[in-house]
Amino acid sequence: MALHVVAARTDPALFRLPWSKPLAQWEDWYVVPLPLGLSRHVVRVVQVNRQFLAVKETEEAIALREYDLLRDLQRLDQPCVVPRGVVTGRVAEDGSPLPAALLTEHLHYSLPYRTVFQHGLRAEQVPALIDALVVLLVRLHLAGFFWGDVSLSNALFRRNAGGFAAFLVDAETAELRESVSDAMREHDVTVGVENIFAELMDLQASGDTDIEVDGQEVVTHLAEQYHSLWEELTAAEEFGADEWFRVEQRISRLNDLGFDVDELDVQTDSDRVRIQPKVVEAGHHRRELRDLTGLVAEDSQARKLLNDLAAYTAHFGYDDEDREVVARRWLSTIYTPIVALLPDDLRSRIAPAEYFHEVMEHRWALSDAAGHEVDIIESARDYVANVLPHRPPDSPTGLR
């Protein structure tokens, strides 16, 4: 059987990987030692030219289906790993068939949940980790995606301005539909509650975390947060015909949550108005920051950067100037010089937008201790010298 690669862009270097060996037997020469989440399959990360790919062995039909699902999610701008291809027709040196392999792009600055816990996650940060998974699940459901196997293991996490952003990794059990029924949504929540409770209990039993986690409290938080966010994003709201300001209030609340309202259903009669969001899209702050500055960041990071831009605008009295002009000035005089202070050997530890956020937090701490405002460049130098070298990396050295 001939080796066959299905990919949007086929790199000839892919064919030089040892496909005639089971993935578990690949030598260190090919494998990049990255932390990986728990999986029922053999998974390895390899380097192909300048690209880092996760390789997962599975059945051919499953690999092809998951590849198509991930491509669909990518086109819908959903938070998931980027599919790069499927390798089929693998044969061992003795002629026996080997499993197909699904290739996905390594998600830079992301970590599996067990590594997050091992890297000093504090007990008060656990709800933020769960909130990130809730936002991911709600976004997927809004897009018509039924996950089928919600768990911490099937996601990766990036730090996001003091919180986290979650990305789907495993879509084996998933389905993409026109819409997800209430019953299917509740099934996903129930499965998530069961899986995550078990994962947290296993985490503590294995000694992979030093913090005490109340598993029941965590999964109760997950279910409550999911239903609360879903209600805010989709529920109908009625008010008097003289209260049109409540339309702007609803949109503003959704913007604060990081969502844009792309379509709003409005029904009126003589004295009542009924509104219901029809299409909501995540990434409100991320898009605004990108449009103003060209920077790419997670949504909470983008919101923090926009807040700093607003403070910069007010401090220098630029309120009457064109916002894009001010944003370019902030980018060149504040953001870029601070990011430039990152030494080359520490750049792989932290995403630039997260680094900027942490410098801002460090500056506030220094200013509070000093009793006066500390210069931002001075704060960045102190952070790079005294904090960053001891901070657990979000990506292994050399991967950016």
2-16 pLDDT, tens per residue?
A: 777 887 676 777 888
CATH of 4-105, one of 3.40.1350, 1.10.1660, 3.40.50, 3.30.200: 3.30.200
Mean pLDDT of 257-277: 85
Q: What is the domain partition of the chain in residue ranges? A: 4-105, 113-234, 237-282, 285-390
Burial degree of 188 (CB within 10 A; 0-12, 13-18, 19+)? buried
Three-state SS for 263-298 is: EEEEEECCCEEEEEEEEEEECHHHHHHHHHHCCCCC
- Residue 67's pLDDT band (cuts 50, 70, 90): very high
Residue 48 has pLDDT above 90, yes or no: no
Residue 235 has pLDDT above 50, yes or no: yes
322 or 9, greater pLDDT: 322
Mean pLDDT of 181-198: 96
User: What tokens does 393 get?
Assistant: 């990396």
348-361 pLDDT, tens per residue?
A: 889 999 999 999 99
CATH of 113-234, one of 3.40.50.10790, 2.30.110.10, 1.10.40.30, 1.10.510.10: 1.10.510.10
- Residue 347's pLDDT band (cuts 50, 70, 90): confident
Predicted local confidence at residue 398, as pLDDT: 43
141-177 pLDDT, tens per residue?
A: 999 999 999 999 999 999 988 889 999 999 999 999 9
Using the structure block, give the residue that is written with the tokens 């990506």. 395
Three-state SS for 36-97 is: CCCCCCCEEEEEECCEEEEEEEECHHHHHHHHHHHHHHHHCCCCECCEEEEEECCECCCCCE
Residue 373 has pLDDT above 50, yes or no: yes
Residue 346 and residue 335 in contact, taking contact as beta carbons nearer than 8 Å? no
C-alpha span between 190 and 129 (Å, rounded) = 18
Mean pLDDT of 273-282: 86
Share above pLDDT 90 across residues of the chain, in percent, rounded to a whole number = 57
C-alpha span between 200 and 218 (Å, rounded) = 9
- Residue 38's pLDDT band (cuts 50, 70, 90): low
- Residue 397's pLDDT band (cuts 50, 70, 90): very low
| DSSP string of 81-99, one letter each residue | PPEEEEEE--B-TTS-B--
Residue 400 has pLDDT above 60, yes or no: no
- Residue 399's pLDDT band (cuts 50, 70, 90): very low
Predicted local confidence at residue 1, as pLDDT: 58
